Structure 1
Amino acid sequence: MITVENLSKSFPLNGNPVVALRDVSVDIQAGSLFGVVGPAGSGKSTLARCIGLQERPDRGVVRLDGLNTGTLDGRRLREIRRQVGVVSTKPELLAERTIAGNIASPLEQLGLDGPQRRNRVGNLLDLVGLTPRAGQRPGDLSEGQLRRVAIAKALAAGPSVLLADDPTAGVQAEESGAVLTVLDRARAELGVTVLLTTPDAGVVRRVCDDVAVLEAGAIIERGTVLDLVSDPNSRTAQALLPAIETGRAQASKYDRAVDVVLVGFASVGALLPEAAGRFDVELATIGGGLTRIGDTPVGRFRLGVRGERADAALAWIAERGGHVTHPVRGPQGVAA
């Protein structure tokens, strides 16, 4: 488990301190895939470097499995650093070495013998889906493939934590999914705790369990992704859920219009039709749509509601996990 307590960090600029992190506190569960999302300059990379023991904070503590890393130096600090693999946006690969050779280089430094190295490299090439490319050199690969090689190299020494700083930066859209899949496989198959930073909320939607939203060096929102999207007012929900656009004429056909967020297969597939039948009301989808958070379907819909027992139907939906908001009567139920 990674625990960050009241972390602050600043850097000098023209003789004046520029604050990168302001009293940041967050817990990252072991074995999770945790996303830190925010715009450029929000402090994401600085937070990753502090957790990776590449930067020392001005104040605050980073704990790895309860160990206060701020008390470490010398040999002990180097030992703990080896437990953290780092993937930067500019992979450090040797152009003259093959892909397999690049992945093997950390193992050579550790003194592993040939058979052990070959076995480990083969397993990592399989994990990142690049076994056919083992004998090629970095210059022969695309940016997305290079990023996957960098992940394999960072995993070679068997770290317990993997930091991926904006792992899809500069990667073509059609290849970014493969990079994210590799990070997910590292978490699922190797048990590695993965922390990724990104300005793209879509990356969080695809692979993250938990998320922290950074703005101007401070965390303004954190929690599990599914919990946050269940709150339509959260930054995460606003970034990830389908937009709702409803014309005035369309909404005016109903007694009222409400917004509802449904999470999970059962809710998305059955809750609305069951409520309509049980309470003899009309629940018509007049806006919104479906998305997925990882493997979980999530819907945000604007419903046109008609019927005497509408209030009971909406309360029943809420009792069963639906999140009903913005009850607006008559033609006012249009998209804001």
Structure 2
Amino acid sequence: MITVENISKSFAAGSTGAPVVALRDVSLAVEAGSLYGVVGPSGAGKSTLARCIALQERPDRGVVRFDGLNTAALDGRKLRDARRQLGIVDTRLQPERTVAGNVAAPLERLGVEGPQRRNRVGTLLDLIGLTRRATQLPGDLSEGQRRRVAVARALAAGPSVLLADDPTGGVESEESGSVLAVLDRARAELGATVLVTTPDASVARRVCDDVALLERGAVLESGNVLGLLGKHGSKIANQLLPAIETSRAEVAQYDLAVDVVLVGFAAVGALLPEAAGRFDVELATIGGGLTRFGDTPVARFRLGVRGQRADAALAWIAERGAHVTHTLYGLRNVAA
């Protein structure tokens, strides 16, 4: 468990300017074994937060704790021991060393014996899917492949926490999925707690269990990714769910229109047709779409609704876990 408790951090802006506030009373709780995402625009304070958690920066105020241990009270050997539990993804590979050599570098510094070192490197190359590239140099790889090597190197010493600051930045979209898959495998197969910072909210949709939205150094919203989908007014949900665009003319054809979020295979596949048949109403999809959160399908639709028992149908859908919001009325109800 990583807990960040009300940390603030400022940097001097020079001889004439005021201090630059990077973090403002930031609090997070990262469960052990989870994949946690911190999302936000450039300049939000994500990298500063990552450095504070990585014990590379000391906050001006507040505390970072690992399993309850106050890291602010550590120095010397105890601080070095705490840092060894942290694997930090550094994208700067050693260009003169092979892929295997880059992954092995932390083990060499720790004095790990040859057979044990080779076995660990082999395991990690398999994890990142680059076993056949072991003897190649970083310059022979794509950017996405180099990022995967950087993740393997950060995992070499067996850290309990893996920190990745913008792991897909500058990576082609077709390769970014493989980088995120490696982070997910580090959590699932090695038991590492993974913290990712990124300006790309879709990263949270693809791999994160929990997420926090950081803007101007402050946490605006945080929570379980799937749990936020039904939260009215959630900025994170609005960024992650499919956009809805409908015209007034489309809405006017129905008695009313509502926005509905459906989570899971059963809800997405069967809930709306069952409600339409059960209550003898028309539920027409007039906007929105489908996406996936990890392996879970999620839909956000705008439904055009006709029928005398429309309210009962929508209430029945909501009782079964759908999130129904944003009611709009068609011309028929306006005229009435």
TM-score tier after normalising by the smaller chain length: over 0.9
> Could you tell me how far 1:232 is from its partner in structure 2?
4.9
> Could you tell me how far 1:231 is from its partner in structure 2?
2.3
Q: How does 1:159-174 map to 2 (within 5 A)?
A: 159-174=159-174
Question: Is 1:310 matched with 2:310?
Answer: yes
Match of 1:211 in 2: 211
The structure-2 alpha-carbon separation of the partners of 1:332 and 1:27, relative to structure 1 and needing over 3 Å to count, comes to: farther
> Could you tell me how far 1:332 is from its partner in structure 2?
9.7
Match of 1:260 in 2: 260
Q: How does 1:171-190 map to 2 (within 5 A)?
A: 171-190=171-190
Residue by residue over 1:248-286, the C-alpha shift from the partner in whole angstroms, topping out at 9 and shown as x without a partner, is 332222111111111111111111111111111111111
CA distance in 1, matches of 2:104, 2:324: 54
Q: SS where residue 321 of structure 2 aligns?
A: coil
CA distance in 2, matches of 1:307, 1:96: 71
**1:71 is matched with which residue: 52, 59, 73?**
73
CA distance in 1, matches of 2:174, 2:301: 29
Question: Is 1:100 matched with 2:100?
Answer: yes
Q: Residue 230 of structure 1 contacts residue 262 of structure 1 at CA under 8 Å; is this kept in 2?
A: no
> Could you tell me how far 1:92 is from its partner in structure 2?
2.5
- Percent identical pairs in the alignment equals 75
Match of 1:326 in 2: 326
> Could you tell me how far 1:70 is from its partner in structure 2?
0.4
CA distance in 1, matches of 2:107, 2:192: 18
Q: How does 1:124-203 map to 2 (within 5 A)?
A: 124-203=124-203
The structure-2 alpha-carbon separation of the partners of 1:196 and 1:332, relative to structure 1 and needing over 3 Å to count, comes to: farther
Q: Residue 201 of structure 1 contacts residue 240 of structure 1 at CA under 8 Å; is this kept in 2?
A: yes
**1:55 is matched with which residue: 54, 57, 75?**
57
Q: Residue 165 of structure 2 contacts residue 198 of structure 2 at CA under 8 Å; is this kept in 1?
A: yes
Q: Residue 6 of structure 1 contacts residue 60 of structure 1 at CA under 8 Å; is this kept in 2?
A: yes
Spell out structure 1 runs of 4+ moving beyond 4 A.
none
CA distance in 1, matches of 2:42, 2:178: 24
Match of 1:109 in 2: 109
The structure-2 alpha-carbon separation of the partners of 1:331 and 1:242, relative to structure 1 and needing over 3 Å to count, comes to: farther
CA distance in 2, matches of 1:94, 1:261: 47
Match of 1:284 in 2: 284
> Could you tell me how far 1:236 is from its partner in structure 2?
1.1
Q: 1:37 is aligned with what amino acid?
A: V
Unaligned runs of 5+ in 2: none
Q: Once structures 1 and 2 are overlaid, which stretch shifts more, 218-227 or 247-256?
A: 247-256
Q: 2:164 is aligned with what amino acid?
A: A
Residue by residue over 1:215-260, the C-alpha shift from the partner in whole angstroms, topping out at 9 and shown as x without a partner, is 0000000001111122252111111111112233322221111111
Q: 2:150 is aligned with what amino acid?
A: A
Q: Residue 32 of structure 1 contacts residue 194 of structure 1 at CA under 8 Å; is this kept in 2?
A: yes
Q: Residue 32 of structure 1 contacts residue 209 of structure 1 at CA under 8 Å; is this kept in 2?
A: yes
Q: SS where residue 12 of structure 2 aligns?
A: strand
Cα RMSD, aligned residues only: 1.2
TM-score after normalising by structure 1: 0.96
CA distance in 1, matches of 2:141, 2:256: 56
CA distance in 2, matches of 1:49, 1:176: 23
TM-score after normalising by structure 2: 0.96
CA distance in 1, matches of 2:127, 2:228: 31
Residue by residue over 1:176-234, the C-alpha shift from the partner in whole angstroms, topping out at 9 and shown as x without a partner, is 11100000000000000000000001111111110000000000000011111222521
